[in-house]
Structure 1
Amino acid sequence: METKDFNSSISAKISAGEAIKKISNVVEWWGVTFTGSAEKQNDQFIIKMGGDSFFNFTVSELIPGKRVVWLITDCYMPWYADKKEWANTRLIFDVTENNGLTELNFTHEGLTPEMECYKDCAPGWTHWINTSLFSYFTTGKGVFRKPSI
Structure 2
Amino acid sequence: MMQATQKQDFTTTFSVDRNPREAFEAITNVRGWWSQEVEGVTDQVGGEFDHHYKDVHRCRIRVTELVPGRKVAWLVLDNFFNFIEDQAEWKGTEVVFEISEKDGGAEVRFTHVGLVPQYECYDVCTNAWNGYLGGSLRNLINTGQGQPNPKEGGNAPAHQDAATVLRARRTP
TM interval, short-chain normalised? over 0.9
State the 1:10 CA deviation: 0.9
Alignment of 1:13-92 (within 5 A): 13-31=17-35, 33-51=37-55, 53-92=57-96
Q: What TM-score comes out, normalization by structure 1 length?
A: 0.92
Unpaired runs of 5+ residues, structure 2, are 149-156, 164-172
Greater share of residues in strand: 1
Runs of 4+ in 1 over 2 A off after TM superposition: none
Q: Secondary structure at the match of 1:33?
A: coil
Residues 77-97 of structure 1 show CA distances to partners (whole Å, capped at 9, x for unaligned) of: 121101231000011000001
Tell me the amino acid that sits aligned with residue 62 of structure 1: L
Once residues 147 and 36 of structure 2 are traced to their aligned partners in structure 1, the CA distance between those partners, rounded to angstroms, is 12
State the 1:52 CA deviation: 6.9
| Residue aligning to 1:126 | 130
Deviates more, 1:135-144 or 1:53-62: 135-144
| Residue aligning to 1:110 | 114
Contact 2:17 2:106 in 1 (8 A): yes
Residues 60-87 of structure 1 show CA distances to partners (whole Å, capped at 9, x for unaligned) of: 1111111010100111212110123100
Contact 1:32 1:49 in 2 (8 A): no
Unpaired runs of 5+ residues, structure 1, are none
Q: How many residues align?
A: 149
Q: 1:134 to 1:52 in 2, by over 3 A?
A: closer
State the 1:119 CA deviation: 1.3
Contact 1:77 1:85 in 2 (8 A): no
Q: What TM-score comes out, normalization by structure 2 length?
A: 0.80
Greater share of residues in helix: 2
Aligned-residue CA RMSD (Å): 1.7
Q: Which has the larger radius of gyration?
A: 2
